[in-house]
Amino acid sequence: PGTDVAVLKIDVPANDPPLPVVPLGNSDGVQVGEWGIAVGNPLGELESSMTVGVVSAKGRRDLRIAGGGPAYQNFLQTDASINFGNSGGPLVNVKGEVIGINSAVNPTGQGLGFAIPINMAREVAAQLITEGVIRRGFLGIVPWPLNEDTRARFEISPENTGVLVGTVQEDTPADRAGLQAGDVIVEFNGSAVEDVPDFRKIVADAGVGENVSVLVERDGRMIDLGVVLALRPDTPEQPQRVAPTEEEWLGLQLEQVTGRLMRQFNLQLSEGLVVSQIDMSRPAAESGLKVGDVLLEIDDRSVDDIERFREIVSGSIADEAAMEFLVQRGGERLMVRVNSRG
């Protein structure tokens, strides 16, 4: 599920001729502007069809895909029409070589289809065939992107690339190695870290049990830490939710204020709900709420915990009404108007 790639075994009777196979190309060598031909069964019910376009872009990552997308993304983007039901079909070049596996279509945007690069699929398939499972490295942090908000809050130089350590999970390789919330990881195992999706893939591809070097910036100093990666734990299946929670609808991740969060965000309050993450595609981001804000009141009603938050906000979301949030930001209190319409 991490890459949306599986391997199927087909038993062929000994007396039958070999099954026809399609040659695999080299997706690393694909150039933007090259022809791409998508083959599949449109809408899941029509006979095999073929559409033609070009490879519009490479390395598309961190896509929000309906129904949930793979954790490790490096998509080829194509304008060859990929309809529902085409998922799993090949994207081929003019030589008839498979350069990708059709994976996702953007239902709101014309000319946007995505395919898993065949080189990534080939690596995953090889490990599934030989070991039966995918062994991915596990560090044990929640990485945050280096954006304008996090750079300002943690006083990070605009020249630096990497990821910000938002949370260090207890009793994990990161915890044992001494990584701290607020560290900026600039290199991992000798590879420069560009952004969060890049970091996730680098960690996943690193060897389990291997001692790797993690170069971090902490308080203006570069520190080289040695980390022994663990095997990434399986993600437990979660029951499918009929609707998002109120905070998810607004695009907020909220946490009860703790001593750790007080230190991390330099909070002056010891109680309440702190905004720990914001989904930039949801209403909360447009309102001006910031990571580290502490919620005090909503529409003149006090907010003590997450259940109280949901109780107050649910009615406004149903009515698509705006809300007035009273927040503590640093040493001042201010009102923020939040539109509940998604």
pLDDT value of position 184: 92
pLDDT value of position 197: 79
Residue 91: count of CB within 10 angstroms of its CB: 32
pLDDT value of position 104: 66
List of E strands, the chain: 35-40, 49-60, 75-78, 90-92, 98-105, 113-117, 137-138, 141-145, 163-168, 184-188, 191-192, 211-218, 221-228, 230-231, 252-256, 273-278, 294-298, 301-302, 323-329, 332-338
Say if residue 225 is in the same domain as residue 308: no
Residue ending a domain, choose from 87, 108, 131:
131
pLDDT digits 0-9 by tens, 261-279 = 888 888 888 888 999 888 8
Query: What are φ and ψ of residue 318, in 5° steps?
Result: -60, -35
255-271 burial, b at 16+ Cβ within 10 Å, e below that, comes to eebeeebeebbebeeee
Query: Which of the 8 DSSP states describes residue 217?
Result: E
Q: Is residue 21 part of a domain?
A: no
Say if residue 272 is in the same domain as residue 325: yes
Query: Which of the 8 DSSP states describes residue 24?
Result: B
Say if residue 226 is in the same domain as residue 251: no
- Dist CA 71 CA 134 (whole Å): 13
Domain CATH number, residue 175: 2.30.42.10
Say if residue 125 is in the same domain as residue 147: no
pLDDT value of position 113: 81
Query: Which of the 8 DSSP states describes residue 132?
Result: S
Strands 252-256 and 273-278: antiparallel
- Dist CA 108 CA 281 (whole Å): 15
pLDDT value of position 265: 85
260: three-class secondary structure by DSSP: helix
Say if residue 39 is in the same domain as residue 121: yes
Say if residue 33 is in the same domain as residue 102: yes
Residue ending a domain, choose from 199, 231, 263:
231
Q: Is residue 19 part of a domain?
A: no
Low-confidence ranges of the chain (pLDDT < 50): 66-67, 107-109, 235-243
- State which residues form the domain around 123: 27-131
Cα dist from 243 to 99, 231, 258, 314, 339, whole Å: 37, 32, 28, 12, 19
Cα dist from 336 to 16, 285, 298, 311, 323, whole Å: 70, 11, 10, 19, 8
Q: Is residue 5 part of a domain?
A: no
Domain CATH number, residue 41: 2.40.10.10
Q: Is residue 225 part of a domain?
A: yes
121: three-class secondary structure by DSSP: helix
